């Protein structure tokens, strides 16, 4: 089964060679380019429920070149302020995410992540002076010390852990009641993906993990995570939960996961993660493999 999580499958040609060619970008802007219509960082929808676009007229500053589709260049403008809050803390965004078609969702996620980075990284991390947007928005340059800065992507390992046919899932205190999901954590410098999976599972649940297998990944634009979905094989069912990291973790049987993933079962022993989250795709994948 192929896994295509929400926010992946972005439809534009990113046309990287054009980014370093300001004259060509200006030419494209003048030749029927489109700009993503946003309210701050929130998407605006047209009458068909698709992402709304405006025709670009005249000069505009701080435009990100998103790419080319149907011969037209697509841009988005950097907002005054960014928003690095996690998605769960933004009620409005959850409603909108459920309305967007998969290709629009992927395009919006790309734009949101890079726009937010620009809005929150206007000064040089090396010398503190203001930086300027460069390479069509895929870089910022410091005119004072010459440093170049690039949009962040922060890798996160997210893993199902299996042992004796059971699946280990956990919950954080902020989750809705009865919700359980895959354990996850940011990679640290010096770690491989496998190292991070083994460390996080041991830290949070006290379970040693042997074999680790990559399943699928998901760009998550709140603000810039790359979720790396894995399956780890647990070495025992014994748990030692670190309550400072998670509220609870439990082993679930295949039957319990089947029931939870079937919609509208109030009797299920837990509520699964929402369809926009890669953890949802990982659970579906596990049931089909
Ligand atoms: Zn600098």
Give the distance (Å) from ligand 1 centre to CA of residue 138: 17
The 10s digit of each residue's pLDDT in 11-56 is: 999 999 999 999 999 999 988 899 999 999 999 999 999 999 999 9
Give the distance (Å) from ligand 1 centre to CA of residue 18: 25
Strands 166-171, 148-149: pairing kind: unpaired
User: What is the Cα Rg of the chain in Å?
Assistant: 21
pLDDT value of residue 89? 87
Report the share of the chain in percent with pLDDT over 70: 98
The closest of 251, 271, 255 to 263, measured between CA atoms, is 271
Query: Could you tell me the pLDDT band of residue 263, with boundaries at 50, 70 and 90?
Result: confident
Give the distance (Å) from ligand 1 centre to CA of residue 124: 5
Give the distance (Å) from ligand 1 centre to CA of residue 87: 31
Query: Could you tell me the pLDDT band of residue 264, with boundaries at 50, 70 and 90?
Result: low
Give the distance (Å) from ligand 1 centre to CA of residue 131: 7
Query: Could you tell me the pLDDT band of residue 62, with boundaries at 50, 70 and 90?
Result: confident
What does the alpha-carbon distance between residue 92 and residue 112 come to, in Å, rounded to a whole number? 15
Give the distance (Å) from ligand 1 centre to CA of residue 67: 28
* Predicted confidence (pLDDT) at residue 92 exceeds the cutoff of 90: no
Contact partners, residue 171, CB within 8 Å, separation at least 6: 179, 180, 181, 246, 247, 248, 249
Q: Is the pTM of this model over 0.85?
A: yes
Mean pLDDT, the chain, rounded, equals 95
């Amino acid at each position: 089964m192929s896994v295509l999580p929400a926010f992946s499958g972005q439809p534009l040609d990113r046309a990287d060679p054009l980014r370093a060619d300001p004259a060509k970008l200006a030419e494209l802007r003048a030749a029927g380019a489109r700009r993503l219509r946003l309210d701050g960082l929130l998407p605006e929808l047209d009458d068909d429920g698709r992402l709304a676009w405006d025709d670009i007229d005249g000069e505009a500053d701080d435009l990100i070149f998103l790419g080319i589709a149907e011969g037209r260049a697509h841009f988005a403008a950097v907002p005054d302020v960014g928003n690095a809050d996690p998605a769960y803390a933004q009620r409005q965004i959850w409603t909108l995410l459920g309305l967007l078609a998969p290709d629009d969702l992927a395009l919006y996620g790309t734009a949101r992540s890079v726009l937010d980075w620009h809005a929150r990284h206007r000064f040089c991390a090396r010398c503190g002076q203001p930086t300027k947007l460069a390479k069509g928005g895929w870089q910022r340059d410091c005119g004072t010390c010459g440093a170049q800065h690039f949009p962040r992507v922060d890798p996160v390992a997210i893993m199902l852990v299996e042992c004796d046919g059971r699946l280990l899932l956990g919950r954080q205190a902020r989750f809705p009641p009865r919700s359980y999901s895959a354990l996850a954590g940011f990679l640290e410098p010096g770690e491989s993906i496998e190292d991070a999976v083994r460390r996080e599972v041991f830290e949070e649940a006290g379970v040693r993990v042997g074999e680790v297998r990559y399943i699928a990944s998901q760009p998550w634009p709140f603000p810039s995570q790359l979720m790396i979905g894995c399956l780890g094989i647990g070495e025992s069912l014994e748990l030692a939960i670190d309550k400072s990291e998670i509220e609870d973790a439990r082993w679930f049987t295949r039957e319990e996961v089947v029931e939870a993933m079937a919609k509208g079962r109030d009797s299920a022993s837990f509520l699964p993660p929402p369809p926009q989250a890669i953890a949802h795709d990982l659970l579906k994948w596990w049931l089909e493999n």
